[in-house]
Amino acid sequence: MDVLHSGTGTLAYTVSGGVNPSGKPVLHCRVKGTLQLQCQRCLEGMEYVLDTQSDLVLARDEAELLQLDEQEDEAADAILADTKLNVLALVEDEVLLDLPLAPRHPAGTCQVKASDYGSQESSPFAVLAKLKPE
């Protein structure tokens, strides 16, 4: 997924631990900031404001992870607990999950000119039009 227009922008994150109402250990992850994404209409940069938070229930092993996935509500995801948890990878995953599939400026705000699409003569279908019987 290559949606970044440039490397400008800043992100701030917090990761803290706690216990959910069921008594399970949980990580609270919040990421805020702005990114410069590439608009899929005009291919120019657009500012995207990111503000996401999630609660990740920690599982001791694979069996508990499967059990938590079946039991817990839709709002909380479960991950495998690790003594050496890669926090940056966790934050990166949260950012990627929040990004739009096809980022676009709001309708009517792109600066695309009709000439950017090429003329009728340069269309790849122009050759087929010549073959069409009249």
Q: How do residues 22-39 score in pLDDT, each as one tens digit?
A: 888 889 999 999 998 888
Does pLDDT of 53 surpass 80? yes
Q: How far is CA 130 from the centre of its chain?
A: 44
Does pLDDT of 92 surpass 80? yes
Confidence of residue 77 (pLDDT cuts 50, 70, 90): confident
Helices in 1-134 by DSSP H: which ranges? 62-71, 87-98, 126-131
| 5 or 116: which leads in pLDDT | 5
Does pLDDT of 20 surpass 70? yes
Q: Which of 51, 55, 68, 72 is nearest to 19 (CA)?
A: 55
Percent of the chain with pLDDT over 90: 14
